[in-house]
Amino acid sequence: MDSREQFIAWLNDAYSMEKSLEETLERHAKDAEADPEVHARLTQHIEETRAQAETVQGCIESMGGKVSKVKSALAGMSGAVQGMVNKPAGDTMVKNAIADYAAEHFEIASYRALIDSARSLGEEQIAQKLTTILRQEEDMARFLEGKLPRTVQGALAEAGR
């Protein structure tokens, strides 16, 4: 596998990651319906995530690659399971917030690596597209970080009743 093929493989990983997170975020947004601000931001990020997957797919295709159907199918199953994992717990919102915050930071690291890879290969246009995605992931991580203390305090207050 040469460096371009490796980069396409990594882009496929990013595409699968976005598709998996889309389903997880949909479930978490439903869980957050009682908190209009969090629900609205999650709903916005679902749309961003869909657009990110399309952007990554376009990057793959612009390099002559194809989206991996196997990785996409596995990502869909993974997203469905992950979205249901915290459901029975009384502290669902806290666990969702932690999972989403961790996922955003995983995405941030992934996109930073992809941007470096794109630049190393002379793919500046792809690097710019991925940088736009990176900024959205950083914005979402900051939002989640800001909401986590209130979410934790709410769960503790609820548990104390």
| DSSP string for residues in 9-33 | HHHHHHHHHHHHHHHHHHHHHHHTT
d(CA 142, CA 119): 26
- Which pLDDT band, with edges at 50, 70 and 90, does 71 fall under? low
Q: What is the pTM of this model?
A: 0.87
Spell out the alpha helix ranges (H) of the chain: 3-31, 36-62, 69-85, 92-120, 124-159
Q: Are 75 and 20 in contact (CB under 8 A)?
A: yes
Residue type, 22: E
**Could you report the per-residue pLDDT of 100-156, keeping only the tens digit for each?**
999 999 999 999 999 999 999 999 999 999 999 999 999 999 999 999 999 999 899
Nearest to 147 by CA among 13, 32, 52: 32
Specify the DSSP class assigned to residue 59: H
**Could you report the per-residue pLDDT of 1-19, keeping only the tens digit for each?**
899 999 999 999 999 999 9
